[in-house]
Amino acid sequence: MFYQNLPVDRVYYGIHCVEQELISEIKLMNAEKILIVTSNSLLKSNTFKNMVQSLHAHDIKTFTICTKQHVPGSILFKNLKEIYHFSPDLIISCGGGSPIDAAKILSFCLAQGIKSEEDIYQYSDHTENNTSIIMESYIPHIAIPTTLSASEFTSIAGVTNEKDQIKYKFSHLNMTPKFVFLDPVFTKDTPEWLWISTGIRAVDHAVETLYSPDPNPINTSLALQALKKLYIYLPLCKKEQTNLEYRLECQLGAWLSLFSVVNIKLGLSHSIGHQLGSLFNIPHGITSAIMLPHVMRFLLPSTSREQALITEVLENNERGNSIEEKAALASKLIGDLIKKLEIPHKLRDYHIEKDSIHELVRNILVDIRGEKNSFVLGSGDLHAEITNLLQQAW
């Protein structure tokens, strides 16, 4: 047994840590030309504008591109020729999981010499006999997240192929951002629904970490602490939306929920969420709100001991006379949290027709096989079971 740390050099956390530390970090790297990857909504944020002005005031050149939810390939590669011409020596992503994922993919493309969207899918984990990602020499990446998706703490990124509507996964240790800034000031303009729903995505990370088929004591302990923080502070954030201390606690919870994820395998809720997102454009936080309690009940027979830990940490007592009783309560606690936060949590809330479930299952099975998750692959008739699970969530 061994534990693999991801190559994150430093994590800054605290109110105004970007203003206090970002320029110093850039100067340590001697960076002069920065590719900024963000979203259209953040371009209008005063916090983002102030950061860019600060970079320019220190004679740092910038080239900014925007991406969209679920990283559509056509948008990601739209400015690739200009990016090569600009020749950045540093990448900064600022936004939610999509800009951070897009920055990882662009770092990989620049390192690998990829020039078009057609060239990239051969490297995906979801492609049979995929080509290995090398990335021996690569541009460092600073991530400034504005949601709780925790993409900044992974070596994984996804791109949606708009031809087959499948989200393809890519992974390499050197795709991990080298530096992360958890600054709640940058989350002030994040819409409430997005902040809260990505908080449930972080809850999903923690829950699926606990019953990963490859558990370890570090991730298990941190996932339990993540659940405790998120269970307490997400409702407080909803009640007091401008409280930066509460937001910082949620950011720390998101970090703990996905700590050095290379050591574990996330499971069925994530596989379903990837494909719900790419096929129906549903945000990942919402996909977790829709699917997680159902998936927890589905996996209960094989994960009762792990799910019992959820009840113990959230209830803070020994409620229930047995592991099975505690485990059965876990999905209800998570479901009640989702309802308390007033997040849509049914497939039909997003106008998904029951007739669409067949195509969705096809895409999910591609994802599951790519993940090689033994808990899920060990089931019986997987097509029928996933279909039934989605019908329950409808």
Which residue in this structure is represented by tokens 């990448």?
91
- Within a domain: residue 1? no
> Are residues 358 and 223 part of one domain?
yes
CA-based angle 73:74:76, to the nearest 5? 60
Could you tell me how many residues make up the chain?
394
Domain C-terminal end among 187, 207, 231:
187
DSSP code of 131? P
Phi-psi sector, 342: left (phi>0), alpha (psi -120 to 50), beta: left
Domain C-terminal end among 157, 187, 217:
187
> Are residues 251 and 142 part of one domain?
no
> Are residues 215 and 173 part of one domain?
no
φ, ψ (nearest 5 deg) of residue 58: -100, 25
- Within a domain: residue 89? yes
> Are residues 230 and 133 part of one domain?
no
> Are residues 30 and 124 part of one domain?
yes
Q: How far apart are CA 13 and CA 58, in angstroms?
A: 23
> Are residues 178 and 210 part of one domain?
no
Number of domains in the chain: 2
Q: Are 120 and 105 in contact (CB under 8 A)?
A: yes
CB environment 58-73: b (16+ within 10 A), e (fewer): eebebbbbbbbbbbbb
Q: Are 296 and 334 in contact (CB under 8 A)?
A: yes
> Are residues 346 and 388 part of one domain?
yes
Helices (H), the chain: 17-28, 40-43, 46-57, 73-76, 80-86, 97-112, 192-210, 217-239, 244-257, 268-280, 284-298, 300-315, 323-340, 357-371, 374-377, 382-393
> Are residues 291 and 164 part of one domain?
no
> Are residues 377 and 349 part of one domain?
yes
> Are residues 87 and 135 part of one domain?
yes
Domain C-terminal end among 155, 187, 219:
187
What CATH code is carried by the domain that includes residue 373?
1.20.1090.10
What CATH code is carried by the domain that includes residue 119?
3.40.50.1970
Q: Are 271 and 368 in contact (CB under 8 A)?
A: yes
- The SS3 call for residue 295 is helix
- Alpha-carbon distances, residue 207 vs 62, 178, 333 (angstroms): 39, 26, 12
Domain coverage including residue 372: 192-393
Q: How far apart are CA 241 and CA 68, in angstroms?
A: 25
pLDDT per residue, tens digit, the chain (394 aa), is 899 999 999 999 999 999 999 999 999 999 999 999 999 999 999 999 999 999 999 999 999 999 998 899 999 999 999 999 999 999 999 999 999 999 999 999 999 999 999 999 999 988 888 999 999 899 999 999 999 999 999 999 999 999 988 889 999 999 999 999 999 999 999 999 999 999 999 999 999 999 998 899 999 999 999 999 999 999 999 999 999 999 999 999 999 999 998 999 888 999 899 889 878 889 989 999 999 999 999 999 999 999 999 999 998 665 557 999 999 999 999 999 999 999 989 999 888 888 888 888 988 888 787 776 666 766 668 888 899 999 999 9
> Are residues 209 and 69 part of one domain?
no
> Are residues 264 and 127 part of one domain?
no
CA Rg value for the chain: 20
pTM: 0.93
